[in-house]
Amino acid sequence: MGKINLLSSKIYNRIAAGEVVERPASVVKELIENSIDAGSKNITIEIQNGGISSIKIIDDGSGIERDDLRNAIMPHATSKISKIDDLYNIQTLGFRGEALSSIASVSKLSIASKPKEQEIGASIYTEGGDNAEICDDSIAKGTCIIVKNLFYNTPAREKFLRSAKTEENEISATIARFILGNSNIAFNYFADSKNILQSFGDGFESAFACVYGASVIKDCYYINAQKNGININGYVGKPHYSKPNKSYQIVFLNGRFVQNQTISSSIANAYAPYLMKRQYPFYVLNITMPSDSIDCNVHPNKIDVRFINNQIIYGALYSVLNKVLDGNRDALNIVVECNNQQSKSIKTLSEYVTHNNGDGAFRETFKFDTLVFNDSGIKKEEVVDDIFVQNKAYLQSLEQTPTNKYQQQSIKIEKDLKLVGQALNTFLILEDGTDLYLIDQHAAHERILFDKFMGQIDKRSVEVQPMLLPYVFSVTPEEAEFISSKSNTFEEIGLSINEFGVNTYKISSIPIFLQNVDFRIFISDLLSDLNALKSLTLTGLLKEKIAQKACKSAVKAGDKLSNENIEFLLGLLKGNLGLKCPHGRPVAVKISRMEIDKWFKRIV
């Protein structure tokens, strides 16, 4: 007799529950997704004891018809797809028809529901999926689902539950993500009767403030970009606002929360030059793209997706974030767009640098940048926090200068600058007879070196240094193919990598900016994400290394500089105070005479 059994639906459900219902937070996730799919505008979540004792979700969505209640808790029962083709164009969050049946099999589940058209509501109750009875119910329009005693009949799973507090935190994080990803829906969430989170369904900014607090907005750029047919919109942390872990990285793809390697590595690489080791970017991004270029049916939790073309999404994210963080020419085009608002800018700018908040302390004025991107450049809706916006000559020169990706735009000070001195061994103070300028000596030098190295790459005139001992390394055949295909590019940037046996290479000379680099790390960085790499130019990648080298070689904050050295540095700067260091910090800050007069109440 054969040994292969066809499993009963009861056993099958338990197996599926193992995948879908990992812990209370996964139940909350599945139920909220169902409420959203049902078109709800208000969703209330109440949990007891970390969701282990009880999870209750009330929505005002389309409801489940009385006759469908029994089907809803059957495996593979879904109203969302009916034919194979539907799988390739999924518009809802759920589609597997597994969640309710899985949850029913490992808990005591009740569903009460009333579609608008149905006169009286109905409910169904089941323990472990058995003996489902249907009764009348007085519920108003919508659905109320209560999940009690999760895993009461699966002790093995119950053992894996963590403390109620940990489970509660996981649920809170899940709900926060729903709030951010569904800002048109009002959520209200209670844990053990305490109101933990509440949103109002009145837009993304409000939802963001509800989750992170309104004060975080000023530490972020709001971006809205279209690139390669992909729309990228949301908050990204300014470089100073980094986080010690990756839990502040939230991405919604076509409304669905996803964790995807291509997306996260693209953003991480764009931020890499700006962040210290073990610091991670903060972001909440909504990405939308045609649903037929994504395959959602990859992961049982539907949390990962596959792209038909990884490079398109990688490239779009990388290039948009790179522009934002770099503050390069593209980002500064924004200022050109602001030209017609010049008078408004000046007013705001004089308020910007510092302002007296009444108790004698000077605080940075709240200023929030809204960047609007599109393929043809970047527009800025709000006034930028660049203190030089009012420099008309600069604005005009911007329009005339040819594009150079790595070159910052010049802001030339027309009048002669006179050195007042060095303060705190860190800042150079200059004046032009009218206004005062503070220059960050490290940022300035760093930028000069960075421009020099990048200039060498652009002009293909890299200073090369032979290595005393060649560095030899081995790679996989796929990596070998990549290196061989790029050998010309490596050569152009002064990196000579030659074959040295089967799948083995040696580096015998290096560009000067890679001096003192740990090659073991450099090579593994370089090859860490081959797919991603193929869509980038090598110079883009090397930029990070170059920025590091510039940073290391530049004078430091705290270095006492001789007058000779200061003059030398200022000579290199050529009066160009509009630069930002490669990490995006400004090189110079202008304090207007008017501002200073205000501090001393000479004018009001």
Q: Which stretch binds ligand ADP (CB under 6 A): 4-12, 91-99, 510-518, 556-564?
A: 91-99
Cβ proximity to ligand ADP, 97 vs 377, nearer residue: 97
Q: Which does 333 bind (CB under 5 to 8 A by kind): Mg ion, ligand ADP, none?
A: none
CA nearest neighbour of 272 among 544, 473, 603, 551: 544
Total residues interacting with Mg ion, rule: CB under 5 A = 3
Nearest distance from C-beta of residue 20 to Mg ion, angstroms: 9
Cβ proximity to Mg ion, 299 vs 355, nearer residue: 299
- Residue for token digits 């076509």? 254
Nearest distance from C-beta of residue 377 to Mg ion, angstroms: 42
CB 236 within 8 A of CB 281: yes
Contact between 72 and ligand ADP by CB under 6 A: the answer reads yes
Strand order in the sheet with 464-474: 464-474, 504-511, 496-499
CA nearest neighbour of 454 among 408, 516, 515: 408
- Choice from 9, 19, 48, 97 touching ligand ADP (CB under 6 A): 97
Nearest distance from C-beta of residue 90 to ligand ADP, angstroms: 10
Nearest distance from C-beta of residue 78 to Mg ion, angstroms: 7
Letter for the amino acid at 314? Y
Q: Per 3-state DSSP, what percentage of the chain is helix, strand, and coil (rounded to 5)?
A: 40, 25, 35
Helix (H) or strand (E) holding 365: none
Nearest distance from C-beta of residue 31 to Mg ion, angstroms: 8
- 120: its two tokens: 């009286």
Restricting to residues 561-580, name those near ligand ADP by CB under 6 A.
none
Contact between 31 and Mg ion by CB under 5 A: the answer reads no
State how beta strands 194-198 and 186-191 pair.
Answer: antiparallel
Pattern 247-286, binding to Mg ion, x per CB under 5 A?
----------------------------------------
Cβ proximity to Mg ion, 81 vs 417, nearer residue: 81
Q: Which does 281 bind (CB under 5 to 8 A by kind): Mg ion, ligand ADP, none?
A: none
- Choice from 36, 38, 99, 335 touching Mg ion (CB under 5 A): 99
- Choice from 13, 26, 34, 110 touching Mg ion (CB under 5 A): 34
Contact between 128 and Mg ion by CB under 5 A: the answer reads no
- 282: its two tokens: 């903060």
Q: Which stretch binds ligand ADP (CB under 6 A): 3-11, 62-70, 161-169, 210-218?
A: 62-70
Contact between 260 and ligand ADP by CB under 6 A: the answer reads no
Restricting to residues 113-172, name those near ligand ADP by CB under 6 A.
143
Cβ proximity to ligand ADP, 95 vs 513, nearer residue: 95
Helix (H) or strand (E) holding 78: none
Contact between 38 and ligand ADP by CB under 6 A: the answer reads yes
Contact between 77 and ligand ADP by CB under 6 A: the answer reads yes
CB 395 within 8 A of CB 411: no
Contact between 94 and ligand ADP by CB under 6 A: the answer reads yes
Nearest distance from C-beta of residue 40 to ligand ADP, angstroms: 7
Q: Which stretch binds ligand ADP (CB under 6 A): 71-79, 352-360, 435-443, 453-461?
A: 71-79
- Choice from 51, 61, 239, 582 touching ligand ADP (CB under 6 A): 61
Contact between 377 and ligand ADP by CB under 6 A: the answer reads no
Q: Which stretch binds ligand ADP (CB under 6 A): 77-85, 263-271, 347-355, 578-586?
A: 77-85
How far apart are alpha carbons 274 and 4 in whole angstroms?
58
Orientation angle between helical segments 164-181 and 204-212, nearest 10 degrees: 160
Cβ proximity to ligand ADP, 141 vs 218, nearer residue: 141
Nearest distance from C-beta of residue 89 to Mg ion, angstroms: 17
Cβ proximity to ligand ADP, 98 vs 170, nearer residue: 98
Work out the burial of residue 106: count CB atoms within 10 Å of its CB; fewer than 13 is exposed, 13-18 middle, 19 or more buried: buried
Contact between 100 and ligand ADP by CB under 6 A: the answer reads yes
End-to-end CA distance of the chain: 98
Restricting to residues 77-96, name those near Mg ion by CB under 5 A.
94
- Ranked by CB distance to Mg ion, the top (closest) residue is 94
How far apart are alpha carbons 124 and 133 in whole angstroms?
6
Q: Which does 80 bind (CB under 5 to 8 A by kind): Mg ion, ligand ADP, none?
A: ligand ADP
| DSSP secondary structure letters along 516-548 | T--HHHHHHHHHTTHHHHHTS-HHHHHHHHHHH
CA distances from 508 to 436, 437, 477 (A): 49, 45, 21
Nearest distance from C-beta of residue 99 to Mg ion, angstroms: 4
Burial 121-152 (b: 16+ CB within 10 A, else e): bbbbebbbbeebeeeebebebbbbbbbbbbbe
Contact between 142 and Mg ion by CB under 5 A: the answer reads no
Nearest distance from C-beta of residue 92 to Mg ion, angstroms: 8
Contact between 208 and ligand ADP by CB under 6 A: the answer reads no
Query: How far from chain centre, in Å, is Cα 129?
Result: 41
Nearest distance from C-beta of residue 527 to ligand ADP, angstroms: 40
How far apart are alpha carbons 181 and 285 in whole angstroms?
9
3-state per-residue secondary structure call for 267-278: HHHHHHHHCCCC
3-state per-residue secondary structure call for 208-262: HHHHHCHHHHHHEEEEEEEECCEEEEEEEECCCCCECCHHHEEEEECCEEECCHH
Nearest distance from C-beta of residue 388 to Mg ion, angstroms: 53
Total residues interacting with ligand ADP, rule: CB under 6 A = 23
Q: Which does 75 bind (CB under 5 to 8 A by kind): ligand ADP, Mg ion, none?
A: none
Work out the burial of residue 429: count CB atoms within 10 Å of its CB; fewer than 13 is exposed, 13-18 middle, 19 or more buried: middle
* 171 Cβ contact list (under 8 Å, min separation 6): 24, 25, 28, 45, 47, 50, 51, 191
CB 86 within 8 A of CB 105: no
Contact between 75 and Mg ion by CB under 5 A: the answer reads no
> Rule CB under 6 A: which residues touch ligand ADP?
30, 34-35, 38, 59, 61-64, 72, 77-80, 94-101, 143
> Rule CB under 5 A: which residues touch Mg ion?
34, 94, 99
